[in-house]
Structure formats: structure tokens, C-alpha cells
Amino acid sequence: MTDHNHHDPMQQLRKLLFKEEEARISAIEEVRDNEELHAKEISEVLVEALDLRAHDEGLGKALMPAVETAVSESIANDPKAFADALFPVMGPAIRRSIQYAISEMLQSLNQTLEQAFSPKSMLWRWEAFRTGKSFAEVVMLNTLLYRVEQVFWIHKETGLLLAHESFDPSLTEDADVVSSMLTAVGDFIQDSFQGSPNQEVQSLRLGDLEVMIEQGPYSVLAVVCRGNPPRSLQVTLGQTLEHLLQTFHDVLKTFDGDTSHFSASHDMLAPLLLVDYVDHEKKPPIKLIIALSILVISFVGWTSWNVEQKLALKHRWQSYIQTLKETPGLVITDVDEHEGIHHIYGLRDPLAIQAASLLKKFELNEAGVQYHFQPYHALDHGMMLKRLWHLSKAPSSVSFKIQDDVLYVYGKASQAWLSELQLMTQWMDGIALVNVDAVDVPKPPKTFQERVMMLWQPIDSVQLHVQGDAVMLTGSATIAWLQQAKARLASLKDMASYDDHAVLRLDSVDYILQLAQQALHPPRGVHLSITKEHILKAQGAASASWIANAQKKSVALKYILGFDAKDLKILNKVNLARVIAALEPPASVDLFLNKGKLLVKGEADGRWITFANLQALNIKGVQSFQNQVKQIWHADAVLEQAKLRLHPEPSVQLSFADGVLHARGQASKRWISFVHREALHIDGVFTFDEQVDMIYSDEEILKIAMTTLQPPEGVRLQVSQGVLSILGEADIAWIESLKAQVAVIPGLQSFDIKSLHAKAQADGWEQLQIQVASTRLQTFANHPLLTVKDEAALKRLSNIFHRAVELHPDSRLHLAIAYKRSEKLVLMMRNHAIHQGLKKYGVFESQIITDFSENQGVKQDSRIVFTVIKQP
Amino acid sequence: MIQKKICVLGAAGVGKTSLIAQFVYSKFSEKYLSSMGVKIDRKIVQLESQQVNLMIWDIHGEEKFKKITSSYFRGASGVIMVADGTRPDTLSVAQNIFQRVEQDVGNIPSVWLLNKVDLEDQWCMSEGVVKQLNEKYVSVYQSSAKTGENVEQTFFNIAENMLNV
Ligand SMILES: Nc1nc2c(ncn2[C@@H]2O[C@H](COP(=O)(O)OP(=O)(O)OP(=O)(O)O)[C@@H](O)[C@H]2O)c(=O)[nH]1
Ligand SMILES: [Mg+2]
């Protein structure tokens, strides 16, 4: 074919003319036939193509079925992703429709309420009156609808607190814990009620508090409200949450525990702290109006019945007013009556009689009158004299007269009172002058202090204090001067007391001695004293230099007339050589000598220490001795001492080394306990090391055997030379358990059960039951596993059980559990500790019945009671 | 301040509540009150670089019929896995829980405790077991809520690890 084509001139011509076109056509053909290229081609123009036909309704219709399936499949796969994406769009729309529904419902509810007549407010007034609370308070309590007390904004996944607002700032402290707890509670509830992950908790109620929760993507908003929050609050929460999501979307998405990004949320969260009261605007209460009308009508009736009395009253009233007008010190300017009350206006001198006190005389009621008096001073002589008496507090020996604006004073009065009177009257209207010529003024006596000062003036260093008729001196003076002063003042007959003990006696022996001590600083061995003749005397021993110095200084001291050093020894210095010669210390002792003070340190035996204590202060020149030598002991001496005091039993060896006393061998219990009390009291023994084997007496062994084995009735125990004999009759279980238990009795050499016989098996079943019932397990609170003691009990139990099975092949071990602390036992059983324990000995779980409900009354420890039962 | 959620997980009765009480309140009680649900405590820990507010979730012990649901450890930044050193079976319980944590939360820092180390005479964890654990989980301590041994270290260790992730 190719060949043919090749040679066909027509073909060749075509090839020449259409070579290019041919290539293009085959390229187009390839595109048409190859689907992959086809799709690629279309994809390049698809967007533009759709754009071109965007306004064509047909396109939308054509695409609809495909888009619908795609969307519904996507939602089916992961509804949450879709909901999260739609949340900002759908939230507001849904809310608006719900809001509309709610507001309509509220509207109708409101109308129903308004039409009903409510006596509530009357009730509240009554409640306020009854409880003594203020009306406002009662209304507050009754009308608080709700209050949002706290707002938590919580990160959904971690439960961590993003931000918190509270109406009471003191509540902020545990907000983070509350936040986590809220999340956990949500999880818990969902978990417990098997809610699906898309059903979330919306509100919780705790007594008076309601927690409202609004869940959003990434975060949750929870508010704690007191009272009954309106459902519209949930809408507000939703809005806020959306707003928060918009603002903090990016930080929320990548939240890693750092809450500092969210501080700006305050402005959005704080407005959620809402509070609302019930609105009680109501129509006028008809019942109240009726009640008031009845009251008014009865009042009118009552008034007309009283008209006659009123007329008589009016007459008495007029007489009363007339009397007031005539009373000195009162000026009546106006009288009127208003709402049943008489009002009297006018002026009243404070010293005039009370207008009200006259009411009684006219049979008038005080409650019906109100006085409106302005105070004023009446200027008639009577009132003026009264005022004078009152103001000047005049003594009864005085009398007054007023004539032509002049006040005449008569009688006896003090000068002080007269001057006061004169001063006072200057400001009184109606008195121009005071005439006191006729007054007899007695001269005042001199005060006590004036008389003291007249008699005697103290020197500068002494201060005089006079209080009433007591005299006190302070300061400093010589003894002679003080004696003189006392003598002078003795002539004052009315002096109640004289006290000069606070005055420092400058020439007293004590004071001079004090000055001398300060000036001379005598060393410890010197004693200073002052003789009667004021000679300073020194006794004791001192260095020559101090003596010379003291002599010089004492001359300069005031009130000291000489220095007497006759009884003062001049001190010799000691030297170390003399001390060593006297004490002969061992090489392990160091001596220190400083200004007559001797100190010894190091180690030495007790004998030298005692010798040094006796001898040291006898060495000439040694003034003090301090012994800090540590006592050491010679091993031989200590051991000797120990043997003497401890009386070791013959089979005991004692030895001593490095402060440790060792005891080895064997001894009785009595000696061992004695030696423990005694050993550390031996001089030189610091540690006691006892490794002595106890020798038990037969009685002791018997005692231990009795408590360990607890022989049942019919069994006797005997111990002789360390051998335990068990005689009598016992059941097989007890006998079988003997071997293990005998092994733990200390001091026992061997045991003998030749004379012990097993009890007949006739009543075996009951016996077994008793044995099982008396088995006890002890458990420990902090650890649920079985202890060694329990193991022994379990072993015994399984032995018995095996025998029970022999008797009754279908018997069961019944574990009744008596307990105080259920959780502990639950744990025990949970770990199958008992079952496992018994399994070791061949008792299987299926053979055990566990019963927790029995014996709940047991108060003391946790106990497990076992019984063996025959299976019915 | 940075906040972090950590969960304390393990079998019942291993000492989770006691460890938290020791760390937060320095208290210990012999009494055993089995936990229900979750209880949350908070303690602020001062590390070298910064402070961290640890929100510690004490979750009830895992039991055969009371499995821990994963919603509790959702969002945790670290876990403390506790086993009772005197009860070897509690270690496998802890390992089982940890597998679920890894599945649901991913790879987060963990500290492993063999608790009740003060009960020497009942101790069941051989050197070999401890070594194996160490190789597998890095942070392994033998602790005691009773004496406080290694309790502080545990919480500081987990805090450090959480911040370094
Ligand atoms: N000796 C000792 N006892 C401990 C220690 N830790 C806990 N316990 C005791 O073990 C028991 C259980 O402790 P909890 O802390 O309640 O155990 P938990 O893990 O919280 O238990 P659940 O809440 O049931 O899961 C209590 O009796 C504690 O006193 C410890 O370190 N040493
Ligand atoms: Mg707990």
C-alpha cells in the first residue's frame, strides 16, 4: 500500500500541496479520539464557558442534580465541618426566626397577665410590715428575675479558660478550675447518657443557680445565673459567641494554652453580666379604692356625731389663748386652725413658763396644738430679774433691784462673781449700769503655794512642786541642805505631806561610791567602799599599776577626802611552768593561761580530771579554772565495772572495745531485758551490742504455745525440758495445721503428738462449718493484697474445704463479707486476691459464693466471714 | 500565663488521687475513696523560663466494666501514667490506656510512675522491668504519694516537656 502510494503521482502531488494540513488534521483527530487530552482541553475553557452562560437559567437547572448529590454526600460524610462553615451564616438567620416566634409568644403572655387583677403589691406591703423589712427590700427580693453572676469563655477541646468576667471580683480565683470542671461535667453527662458527640449539654441547674452553655466551634460560652434567666439570654450568648469567633478565629484555631491573646474579649463579655427585675406597673387596685371609700364614709359619720363637743371645746380654747396673752414672757401674734390642728404663732422668752403646761387647766389635748414660737428676751423687770438670777448663778446671799436702768446689788459676794456679773450685764438690754457699792466683798486668803514661797525659796538645782497642800521636791542637793529645808517648812501647820525622796543626795555614801566605781573601774578582785569620814577604801588584790592610777584619780573626786589602800594586796603574775609543776597533766591535755584564768582542754582519765579540779585553784595566782577535758576510759576498768553491775549469767561472755559493750552466748529472757535497762548506765559504755540467744523456760514455752495453737477443748499441752507434748482428742483439721504452727514457737526443741487422737468424723459437717466460721482474714487499709497471716488462714480453709467436698461432693465455700469500708473490699475482690489465694490450694472460683450484703452491722474492722454450705 | 491540661491515668487504686493531693496540698491519707468521674485541681508551677498553670485532671481508675472514655483526655497536653509497683497487673492496664491516648490525642509527652515505692517488702518491680520501661518511655520514676518521693519531679518534668514540644 505504501509502495502504491509512493508511486501514485496524484498522491505525491497531494503530499506536496497539503503536507502541513495533513499533519494538522491528524493532530485534531488525535485530540478527538484521546479522552485524556479531550478533558484537558475542556478544562482549560470550562471556567470561561460557565461564565459565559452564567445568566442562562438552563445551566443552573442542568447542574442542579449533580450539585445536590455532591452536597448531600459531603454532609453525610462529615456534618460537623459543614455546620462549622455555615455557622456564621445560618446562626443569625435561625436566631432571627426563633426570636420572632418567642417575641410573639411573650406578647400574648403579657396581655394575659395584664388583664388579671393582682393583689401582689398589697401582699408585699403586708409582708414588709410583718417582717420588719423595708418595702423596697421586699420588692427587690420578689422582683429579682435573674442576674448573670459569672461569664466563662472556655476553649472547647482542652477545657481551659480563655477569659472570665464576674459581677463580684472575689469570685475570679477558681474560675480556671470551674471552667475545666464544666467541660468535664459535660463529658461526664454525655458519657453517662450515651449522647452522640453532636448532642451537647445546654444548661445545668444547681439550686438557685443555672448554668447556661452555648456551644460553638472551638469555644464554649457558659454563664452562671441566679434566678430564672429568660431564654432570650441564650440568643444573646449565641450572638456574643459568634462575635468572639469572628474576632479571634485565627488565635482560637491555634490555641496552645496562652490566654494573653484574649484580653480584648472583655468588651464583648462584660455586657453579658445582665440583671433584670420584674416590672410591676399595674392598673389601680380596685379593692384598695373601695377600702379607702369605706374609711372616708365612716370618718364623716364620726365627725358629725362629735359636733357638739366641738363647740364647747372652742370656748375653752379661746380662754386658753387669752391666758397665754397675759403671761409674762409670751407674746401671741397669730392663731389659726389647719386640718384639725391649732397653730399658735408668737414670741417666747426661754425663761417664761411653757405654754403647753397650761393646756390641762382648760381640758385641751396636747396633740391638737402646735406652737410656733420665736425666742426673744422680754424686758419687763420681772423677767429681767429672773434672767439675771438664772444666768449669773447668784449666791443666795445676794439680792437685786432694778431702777431707772441701774442694777443695784446687795448682800455678800466674792470679787470674782462681781466681776463676772459686771461683764455679763454689759450685754444685757435694760441695764445701763451696775451699782455694787452696797456689796460686802470678803478678802480671799493666801494660797498654800504663796505661803510656801513666802517662807522659803529653793536653790536652782531643786524644783518645788505644790499640789493642793502637798509639797514635793525633785532635782539634786546635799543632805545638809535638804535637812535645813525640811526644818523651815515644818512651821506650815496645814501642809498635808512633804516628800523629798526623789532628790538626788549629792554627798550620800551610795552616790559617791557609784561615782568612784565609774571613775576607777576596779578589777574583779577589788572591793571599794566609803567610810563615814568620806575616805575611799579599797580591799582585795590588784596590780600595782591600777593602785597607783586609782590613788591619783580619787583625789579629783568630789566629796571624797582620801584613798585608803592599806588592805589592798599587790598581785603577783602566775606562770605556766608553776601550773604544770602543780598539776602534772598527761600529754593529751593542753593548758591555757591568760591573766590568771586557767583553761584545760584535751582528753584524760577521770582520776586526773578530779585531781585537777581539786588542785587548780590552790595554785598561787590562778583566779579561775575552767575544765574542758573529755573523760576517757580504760577498757579493763570499764569491763570490770560492767561485770560487777550486770551479774552476767554463766553462759554469757562480755567484752568491751571502743565504747561498745558486747554480750554473746545464751541467757534467760529476764537477764536480757535487765541488761538492756542497765548497760548504758555504766561509765564509758556508749553502745550496747547484745547478740545473746534467749533461753526459754518451760513455762514460757507453754504460754507461747497456748496462744499460738489455741488448743480446742479436749486437748492438753505440756512442756518439759523444751519438749512440747500434745495430748487428748482434736479434729483432723486442727491436727493437720499443727506442724506449720509449731514451727514458729521459739525455744521449742521438738514436739510429741503420740497421745493426740483424731476425733471421730460422725458429726463432721457441723464441725466443719464451725471451723470455717471461726476463720478470720485480716486486711490492711492501704494495701489490697493478702498478707502472710492471711495465707496461713487460707491454707487451713482449703484443707477444711477439701474434707467438706469429701463429705458432700457438691458443697460450696460461702464467703460472707462483713465490712466497714466497702471500697476497700471491692478492691480486694476486684483483684481476686482471695480467689487467687484459694486457687493455690485447689479451691476454684466456681466453688466459692461471695456475698457482700451480709453482716453490714459490723462496726469495727474489715472482716471476712467464711461458711461452708451444702448446695441445695 | 500559659495554661496546660494534663491527665493522670491508670488502674483503680494505684494512687492517682493521692499523688495529686501530695503535689497540690502536700497531704496524704491512708484512706481509700475510689474516684468517680473526674476531679480537677490547679497548681501554678514556676519553671526556669516561665510560669505554667497546670490544670490537673484526676480521672477515675480504669476497670473492667468502667473503661475510661477518650473524651476525658481530649485536648490534654501531657499525661501521667500511674501503676502500682506492688501490683504488676496495673502496669499492663496503664500501657493499654496509653495506647488509646496515642490513638486519640497523638504523640504527647508522658511521665510513667511506679507508685507506692515506700512499701518495700511488697515491691514487685524488678530492675529489668524498670529498665525496659525506661527505654520505651524515657521519663520513668519510682514514686510514693506517701513520702512524696519523686512527686514534685514528676509534675515539673511533664511541665518542662509540654512547653518544649
Ligand atoms: N503506702 C502507700 N500507699 C499509697 C500510696 N499512694 C496511694 N496509696 C494508698 O492507696 C490507696 C488508693 O489510693 P488513691 O490515690 O485513692 O488511688 P486512685 O488511683 O486515685 O484510685 P481510683 O480513684 O479508684 O482510681 C489509698 O488507700 C492510698 O492511701 C503510696 O505511695 N504509698
Ligand atoms: Mg482517685
Q: Which of A308-312, A334-338, A409-413, A491-495 has the lowest mean pLDDT?
A: A308-312
Whether residue A17 lies inside any domain: the answer is: no
**What is the best residue among B20, B28, B32 to mutate for testing ligand 1's pocket, by most ligand atoms within 8 Å of CB?**
B32
Same domain, A733 and A671: no
Parallel, antiparallel, or unpaired for β A660-668 and A652-657? antiparallel
pLDDT single digits (tens) A690-743: 888 888 888 888 888 888 888 888 888 888 888 889 888 887 777 877 877 787
User: Which carries the bigger pLDDT value, residue A760 or residue A64?
Assistant: A64
pLDDT single digits (tens) A531-555: 888 888 888 887 766 787 888 888 8
CA of A843 to the centre of ligand 1 (A): 30
Same domain, A483 and A459: yes
Please state, in angstroms and as integers, the Cα–Cα distance from residue A632 to each residue in A590, A628, A640, following that order. Answer: 15, 13, 15
Residue A61: what are its φ and ψ, rounded to 5°? -60, -40
A652 DSSP β-pair partners = A665
Residue A799: strand, helix, or coil: helix
Q: Which of A30-39, A513-522, A589-598, B68-77 has the lowest mean pLDDT?
A: A30-39
CA of B58 to the centre of ligand 2 (A): 7
Closest partner CB to A781 (pick from B4, B5, B31): B31
ipTM: 0.83
Whether residue A839 lies inside any domain: the answer is: yes
Same domain, A228 and A185: yes
CA–CA distance, B95 with A122 (Å, rounded to integer): 70
Let me know: does B2 contact B50? Beta carbons within 8 Å: yes
Whose Cα sits closest to atom 12 in ligand 1? B13
pLDDT (0 to 100) of residue A299: 60
Angle of helix A415-425 versus helix A381-392 axis, rounded to 10? 130
pLDDT (0 to 100) of residue A26: 84
Residues of A in contact with B1 (CB under 8 A): 259-260
| Nearest-Cα residue of chain A relative to residue B18 | A782
Please state, in angstroms and as integers, the Cα–Cα distance from residue A701 to each residue in A530, A659, A706, following that order. Answer: 85, 35, 9
B42 lies within 8 A of chain A by CB: yes
For the entire predicted model, the pTM comes to 0.38
Q: What is the mean pLDDT of chain A?
A: 77
Residues of B in contact with A824 (CB under 8 A): 32
CA–CA distance, A644 with A659 (Å, rounded to integer): 17
Whether residue A132 lies inside any domain: the answer is: yes
DSSP H stretches of helix in B3-150? 16-25, 89-105, 127-137
Let me know: does B10 contact B83? Beta carbons within 8 Å: yes
Same domain, A142 and A165: yes
Residues of A in contact with B65 (CB under 8 A): none
pLDDT (0 to 100) of residue A109: 40
pLDDT single digits (tens) A624-678: 888 888 877 778 888 888 888 888 888 889 998 888 899 998 888 888 888 888 8
Please state, in angstroms and as integers, the Cα–Cα distance from residue A666 to each residue in A653, A655, A657, A690, A692, following that order. Answer: 9, 15, 21, 10, 5
Cα distance from A147 to chain B (closest Cα, Å)?
27
Are the Cβ atoms of A176 and B37 closer than 8 angstroms? Answer: no
Q: Which residues of A164-181 are buried (b: 16+ CB within 10 A; e: fewer)?
A: bbbbeeeeeeebbbbbbb
CA–CA distance, A168 with A841 (Å, rounded to integer): 66
CA of B102 to the centre of ligand 2 (A): 22
Q: For residue A75, what is its C-alpha cell? A: 454532609
User: Which carries the bigger pLDDT value, residue B13 or residue A815?
Assistant: B13
Enumerate residues lining ligand 1, CB below 6 A. Answer: A 782; B 12-18, 29-32, 34-35, 60-61, 115-116, 118-119, 144-146
Same domain, A670 and A585: no
CA–CA distance, A125 with A236 (Å, rounded to integer): 35
pLDDT (0 to 100) of residue A778: 56
pLDDT single digits (tens) A124-174: 667 767 777 655 556 555 666 788 989 999 998 899 999 999 887 777 778
CATH code, domain carrying A749: 3.30.1340.30
What is the count of structural domains for chain A? 9
User: Which carries the bigger pLDDT value, residue A335 or residue A192?
Assistant: A335
User: Which carries the bigger pLDDT value, residue A629 or residue A785?
Assistant: A629
Same domain, A713 and A792: no
The one-digit pLDDT tens for each residue of chain B (165 residues) are 899 999 999 999 999 999 999 999 999 988 888 887 788 899 999 988 889 999 999 999 988 777 888 888 889 999 999 999 999 899 999 999 999 999 999 999 999 999 999 998 888 888 888 888 888 888 899 999 999 999 999 999 999 999 887
* Sequence letter at residue A177: V
Same domain, A177 and A259: yes
User: What is the arithmetic mean of pLDDT over A767-795?
Assistant: 64
Report the candidate in A439, A424, A342 with the shortest Cα–Cα distance to residue A390: A424
CATH code, domain carrying A128: 3.30.450.70
CA of B110 to the centre of ligand 1 (A): 20
Are the Cβ atoms of A785 and B13 closer than 8 angstroms? Answer: no
pLDDT (0 to 100) of residue A101: 42
Ligand nearest to the CA of B80: 1
Residue A650: strand, helix, or coil: coil
Same domain, A149 and A257: yes
pLDDT (0 to 100) of residue A244: 93
Give the torsion through C-alpha atoms of A666, A667, A672, A675, to 10 deg.
Answer: -90
pLDDT (0 to 100) of residue A810: 74
Are the Cβ atoms of B75 and A159 closer than 8 angstroms? Answer: yes
Angle of helix A57-77 versus helix A79-115 axis, rounded to 10? 90
Let me know: does A582 contact A619? Beta carbons within 8 Å: yes
Around Cβ A338, how many Cβ atoms within 10 Å? 8
Backbone region of residue A222 per phi and psi (left: phi > 0; alpha: psi in -120 to 50; beta: other values): beta
Which structural domain range is residue A341 located in? 299-375
Whose Cα sits closest to atom 30 in ligand 1? B116
Let me know: does B52 contact B44? Beta carbons within 8 Å: yes
Which residue, chain included where needed, has cell 480453709?
Answer: A797
pLDDT (0 to 100) of residue A103: 44
Parallel, antiparallel, or unpaired for β A219-227 and A144-155? antiparallel
Around Cβ A447, how many Cβ atoms within 10 Å? 11
What is the count of structural domains for chain B? 1
CA–CA distance, B49 with A630 (Å, rounded to integer): 55
Whether residue A50 lies inside any domain: the answer is: no
Q: For residue A608, what is its C-alpha cell? A: 586526773
A499 DSSP β-pair partners = A472
* Sequence letter at residue A633: W
CA–CA distance, A344 with A373 (Å, rounded to integer): 8
Same domain, A125 and A235: yes
A191 lies within 8 A of chain B by CB: yes
CA of B84 to the centre of ligand 1 (A): 9
Whether residue A27 lies inside any domain: the answer is: no
A331 membership: H or E segment, kind and range: strand A330-338
pLDDT (0 to 100) of residue B11: 94
Let me know: does B120 contact B71? Beta carbons within 8 Å: no
Which structural domain range is residue B111 located in? 2-164
pLDDT (0 to 100) of residue B84: 94
Same domain, A199 and A307: no
Please state, in angstroms and as integers, the Cα–Cα distance from residue A658 to each residue in A630, A638, A655, A679, B78, following that order. Answer: 15, 11, 11, 15, 57
pLDDT single digits (tens) A160-200: 999 999 887 777 778 888 888 888 877 777 766 665 666 67
pLDDT (0 to 100) of residue A134: 57
Whether residue A96 lies inside any domain: the answer is: no
The pLDDT confidence band at residue A858, using thresholds 50, 70 and 90, is: very low
Same domain, A232 and A306: no
Let me know: does A706 contact A717? Beta carbons within 8 Å: yes
The pLDDT confidence band at residue A441, using thresholds 50, 70 and 90, is: confident
Ligand nearest to the CA of B11: 1
Which residue, chain included where needed, has cell 608553776?
Answer: A578
A190 lies within 8 A of chain B by CB: yes
CATH code, domain carrying A409: 3.30.70
User: Which DSSP category does A711 fall into?
Assistant: P
Same domain, A145 and A261: yes
Whether residue A159 lies inside any domain: the answer is: yes
Residues of A in contact with B40 (CB under 8 A): 177, 180-181, 184
Please state, in angstroms and as integers, the Cα–Cα distance from residue A539 to each residue in A73, A563, A570, A693, A784, following that order. Answer: 122, 11, 11, 71, 85
User: Which carries the bigger pLDDT value, residue A856 or residue B62?
Assistant: B62
CATH code, domain carrying B71: 3.40.50.300
B43 lies within 8 A of chain A by CB: no
Cβ within 8 Å of B, A 825-854: 826-827, 830-831
CATH code, domain carrying A473: 3.30.1340
CA–CA distance, A289 with A669 (Å, rounded to integer): 105
Whether residue A101 lies inside any domain: the answer is: no
CA of B16 to the centre of ligand 2 (A): 5
The pLDDT confidence band at residue A511, using thresholds 50, 70 and 90, is: confident
A155 lies within 8 A of chain B by CB: yes
- Nearest-atom number in ligand 1 for the CA of B143 is 31
